Amino acid sequence: MSPATLVPIQIADGTLAEALSRVLAAAAGATYLVGGAVRDLLLRRSPRDLDVVVEADAIQLGRRLEQETACKPVVLNERPAVVRLVWHAGAQVLDLLELEGTLDQDLRRRDCTVNAMALRLVPTDAGLAGELRDPLSGRDDLDARLLRMTSEHALTEDPVRVLRVFRLAAQLGFEVEDRTRSAIVRHADEVRRAAPERVQEELLLLLEATPCNQALHDCAASGVLLQALPELAPLRGLGENGYHHLDAWAHSLEVVEALDTLLLGEQPLLEPDVLAQAQALLARPYLTGCTNVALLKLAGLLHDVGKPATATQDERGLHFYRHDVLGAQMAEDIAARLRFSREAQRALALLVREHLRPGFLADLPASSERAVNRFFRRLGDQAVAALLLALADRLAARGPAATEEWLLRQARTVNTLAREYFRRAQQPASEPLLNGHDLMARYGLQPGRLVGKALALLRRAQEEGQLRTRAEAEAWLDARMPQLLRDTSGR
């Protein structure tokens, strides 16, 4: 075997690299690194997850590795066996896959040619290396930056693959080959058969890529996006008011593009310090491989989902009264259908419901401290995401009523509020002037709903700067307690 035929295997995570060496040492037969990890190595990227095909009993091999690595193997499938080992609280994954048939058959069952390559693992003096096996010329497609299906049957065998192709296009910046694109159009409805959790993951990974605009538009043009999110279909052809230059469907796609330009700093509307802090905030993990950026872009895609059902026309034009409220409920229902966590469902609904609020604040002659406090109280840790969504919504609206001054006023408000959010986030939370024990002792109350409501009102008044001392808080609450008692008792 000539050294020229070998591909060095360099993995940044030392624990994962060591595990791969242990697999090679422990396996009885040939061992192959396959799929996306091979693609990433050839692109000189360090793979995060590893798929290893073994000509051995994968379950028995997993048990041997458990003793050496302290990672508990999880059997995902009995026959052919698939065994998963996880490191770093789920951040890195190694799957052992028992070879079914020949290696060539295994690779031809994969989705795209760039994922249908394998490296037969071999030890060298310099460390691990791999002999490339490439029956479908995946390396040529890798060099050409093309995503080509291995076969039409393989594309549809797993129903989520018609969406995954566009996720890969977004992540890699590759083009989808013409015959593959045509096959996806023919089989776009396959994605409806996929498990909701898998659709969620592929969709979020697509949106996580920044920029994702081209891949998202291609996914929409193929019909796959509307199969995955059929609630968006009524937006097509839906007219807008004078602030818009596109129909509601194209506008929604353009909002995601506008978010990309903001996050990449390609638009000069965000101040540099605000942009840097917003990028850091949104970089917090949402799920393995995704951050809050993906959730924000999904909110951008869904922000006007309530418009078709709320459209009305009068002499002043087209209106969508309360589309934000209906849209929030629809967004939450969509997230529930795709098996999002309850926390993510609420966050998505909150962003959709509040996407107009920063614009309302920008239209005020001057935002009062009370209005600003109310905004932060309503949005909580989603405040910055809501500000970026509102600004992207304005950037994607270039109708005759959308003046440059209107956009700049919105940008000034977004920068001011974002800067205030970060300032407050760095300050320790103020101690409450009164606590529940104080209230119960002062008014002879028992723990319950009344105490909680009174504390919430006090906290709000304190945050808004109305109360600064304990005496002020007591006097303020004394004046309101009779009404609170009546409201709580129902009288």
DSSP symbols for 247-312: -HHHHHHHHHHHHHHHHTT-STTS-HHHHHHHHHHHTSEEETTEEHHHHHHHHHHHTTTTHHHH-E
Q: Could you tell me the pLDDT band of residue 428, with boundaries at 50, 70 and 90?
A: low
Does residue 476 contact residue 467 with C-beta atoms inside 8 Å? yes
Q: What is the per-residue pLDDT for 326?
A: 98
Higher pLDDT, 27 or 296: 296
For residue 491, pLDDT beyond 70: no
For residue 325, pLDDT beyond 80: yes
Q: Which of 272, 298, 303 is nearest to 390 (CA)?
A: 303
For 145-228, the fitting CATH number among 3.40.50.620, 3.40.710.10, 1.10.110.30, 3.30.450.40 is 1.10.110.30
**Token reading at 172:** 């890699």
Higher pLDDT, 121 or 141: 141
CATH annotation of 3-144 = 3.30.460.10
Q: Could you tell me the pLDDT band of residue 461, with boundaries at 50, 70 and 90?
A: confident
**Token reading at 130:** 């791999």
Instruction: Give me the DSSP letters along 421-474.
Output: HHHHHTSPPPPPSS-HHHHHHHHTPPSSHHHHHHHHHHHHHHHTTS--SHHHHH
Q: What is the per-residue pLDDT for 103?
A: 95
Query: For 283-292, 350-359, 409-418, which range has the lowest pLDDT when averaged over its residues?
Result: 283-292
Q: CA-CA distance, 454 to 443, in Å (whole number)?
A: 11
**Token reading at 109:** 């069952």
Mean pLDDT across 429-434: 80
φ, ψ of residue 321 in degrees (nearest 5): -60, 130
pTM of the predicted protein model? 0.86
Mean pLDDT across 249-259: 96
Q: Per residue in 104-119, pLDDT tens? A: 999 999 999 999 999 9
Q: Could you tell me the pLDDT band of residue 307, with boundaries at 50, 70 and 90?
A: very high
Helix (H) or strand (E) holding 94: strand 92-98
Q: Per residue in 445-454, pLDDT tens? A: 888 888 888 8
Q: Could you tell me the pLDDT band of residue 4, with boundaries at 50, 70 and 90?
A: very low
**Token reading at 230:** 């059929």
For residue 484, pLDDT beyond 90: no
Calculate the average pLDDT of the chain. 90
Q: CA-CA distance, 341 to 344, in Å (whole number)?
A: 5
Helix (H) or strand (E) holding 26: helix 14-26
Q: Give residue limits of the domains in the chain.
A: 3-144, 145-228, 234-425, 436-489
